[in-house]
């Protein structure tokens, strides 16, 4: 895996990025895709939860919460 690329969990709060590729497998990957985080989708990282973990992002006009470990499956640019 080309780990050199930016992952969603590394995006700074407030920035908007595009999905390049979704890694991971099985239920997690399918769920991420089903929620609209597909190739070229625009994602805005909104905030971190008060205790630092799940991230809140906006994708396709709705708010989504996902854990950092899950966000790290999503390669963005």
Q: Is 6 in the site for another protein (CB under 8 A)?
A: no
Dist CA 24 CA 44 (whole Å): 21
SS3 37: coil
Beta-bridge partner residues of 17: 43
Q: Is 31 in the site for another protein (CB under 8 A)?
A: yes
- How far, CA to CA in Å, does 17 sit from each of 50, 53, 75? 23, 20, 10
Residues in region 46-65 near another protein by CB under 8 A: 46-54, 56, 58, 60-65
Q: Is 75 in the site for another protein (CB under 8 A)?
A: no
Residues at the contact surface with another protein, assessed by CB under 8 A:
1, 21-36, 38-41, 46-54, 56, 58, 60-67, 69-70, 73
């Amino acid at each position: 895996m080309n780990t050199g690329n930016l992952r969603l969990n590394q995006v700074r709060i407030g920035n908007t990025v595009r999905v390049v590729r979704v890694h991971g497998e099985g239920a997690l990957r399918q769920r991420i895709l089903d929620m609209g985080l597909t190739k070229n989708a625009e994602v805005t990282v909104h905030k971190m939860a008060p205790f630092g973990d799940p991230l809140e992002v906006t994708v396709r006009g709705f708010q989504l919460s996902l854990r950092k470990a899950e966000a790290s499956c999503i390669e963005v640019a």
